[in-house]
Amino acid sequence: MIGIVRPEKANDVLEALYRAEVRGFSMSRVQGHGGELDRVETYRGTTVKMGLAEKVRFEVAVSDEFVQPAVNALCDGGRTGEVGDGKIFVVPLERAVRIRTGETDHGAVTPVGA
């Protein structure tokens, strides 16, 4: 699952994911363009419209029963109600392998000890 959220809400999303006991994910800083207003900045005589906004992209691989809790966590943590809160895309995973043990699929995305 891929969730794209506001950078200033990234901490809230992290908190919500921990609460939902979703323990495996990665995040990266990305720039994107959604429906939000363009930001205007001025540097000396140069005025620019910033077409791209900073976003944070979460990639979460979970087994089926964790899909809804993870979606809820991303929504609850990332929502401000303003345009630009981001999107969540849930996509099927063809295969997953845990490198350390060679476990595949369901075993690979289930946290150790869960």
Partner 1 sequence: MDTLNLIAATAVDTGDTAWMLTATALVLLMTIGLGLFYAGLVRSKNTLNTFMMCVAAIAVAIVTWAAVGYSFAFAEGNWFIGGFDHAFLSGVDFAPRDGTTIPHLVFFAFQATFCIITVALVSGAVVERMRFDAFLIFAALWSILVYAVLAHWGFGGGWLIEGGTLDFAGGIAVEMASGFSALAAALVVGARKDYGRQALLPHNAVYVLLGAGLLWFGWFGFNGGSGFSTGNAGVLAFVNTMLTPACSLLVWFALDLIRGRRVTAVGAATAIIVGCVLITPAGGFISPGWAMALGAIGALPCYAVIVWRPRTRVDETLDVLAAHGIAGFTGILFIGLFAQASWNGVSDGLLYGNAEQMLWQALAAAATPAYAFVATFVLLKVMGALMPLRTTENDEALGMDVTQHGEEAYATGEGAILVTPESDVEAPVPVAQPEPA
Instruction: Rank residues 9 and 58 by Cβ distance to partner 1 and give the closer one.
Output: 9
Strands (E), 6-107: 25-32, 39-43, 46-50, 53-60, 86-89
| Cβ atoms of residues 53 and 74 within 8 Å | no
Binding site for partner 1 (CB under 8 A): 6, 8-9, 11, 31, 33-43, 46-52, 80, 82-83
Q: State the minimum distance, in angstroms, from the CB of residue 85 to partner 1.
A: 9
Instruction: Rank residues 12 and 105 by Cβ distance to partner 1 and give the closer one.
Output: 12
| Cβ atoms of residues 107 and 98 within 8 Å | yes
Q: State the minimum distance, in angstroms, from the CB of residue 42 to partner 1.
A: 6
Instruction: Rank residues 31 and 104 by Cβ distance to partner 1 and give the closer one.
Output: 31
Instruction: Rank residues 27 and 61 by Cβ distance to partner 1 and give the closer one.
Output: 27
Residue 67, amino acid: V
Cβ count within 10 A of residue 78? 23
